[in-house]
Amino acid sequence: MRVLVLGAGFGGLELTTRLSEGLGDEVEVVLMDQADAFVLGFSKLDVMFGRTVAEAVRHDYCDLVKPGVRFVQTAVRSIDPAARRVETEAGSFHADVMVVALGADLDPAATPGLSEGGHEFYTVAGAFAARDVLAGFGGGRVIIGVTSTPFKCPPAPSETALMMHDYLTERGLVEGSEVSLVMPFGLPVPPSPAASAALLAAFAERGINWHPDRSVRALDPVRNVAVLDSREELRYDLFLGVPVHRAPAVVLESGLCLDGWIPVDPLTLETTFPNVYAIGDVTSAGTPKAGVFAEGQAVVVADEIIAQHRGRRASGTYDGRGTCYVEFGHDQVGRVDVTFRSGERPSGEFDGPSSDYAAEKSQFGSSRIQRWFARDWTSY
**DSSP-derived secondary structure for 132-189:** HHHHT----EEEEEE-SSS-B-TTHHHHHHHHHHHHHHHTT-GGG-EEEEE-SSSSSS
Conformation bin of residue 20: beta by default, left when phi > 0, alpha when psi is -120 to 50:
alpha
Q: What average pLDDT does the segment 324-346 reach?
A: 91
The residue among 151, 198, 202, 197 whose CA lies nearest residue 179 is: 202
Q: Where are the domains of the chain?
A: 2-104+247-310, 109-245
Q: Do domains 2-104+247-310 and 109-245 have the same CATH topology?
A: yes
Which pLDDT tens digit goes with each residue over 164-211?
999 999 999 999 999 999 999 999 999 999 999 999 999 999 999 999
In the prediction, which pLDDT does 379 show? 81
Q: State mean pLDDT over 123-129.
A: 97
Is-above-0.85 flag for pTM? yes
Peptide bond connecting 353 to the previous residue in cis, omega within 30 degrees of 0:
yes
What kind of architecture, by CATH, is found in domain 2-104+247-310?
3-Layer(bba) Sandwich (3.50)
Q: Which residues contact 354 (CB under 8 A, 6 or more apart)?
A: 332, 333, 334
Q: What are phi and psi of 162, to 5 degrees?
A: -70, -40
Class of domain 109-245: alpha beta
pLDDT for 372 equals 97
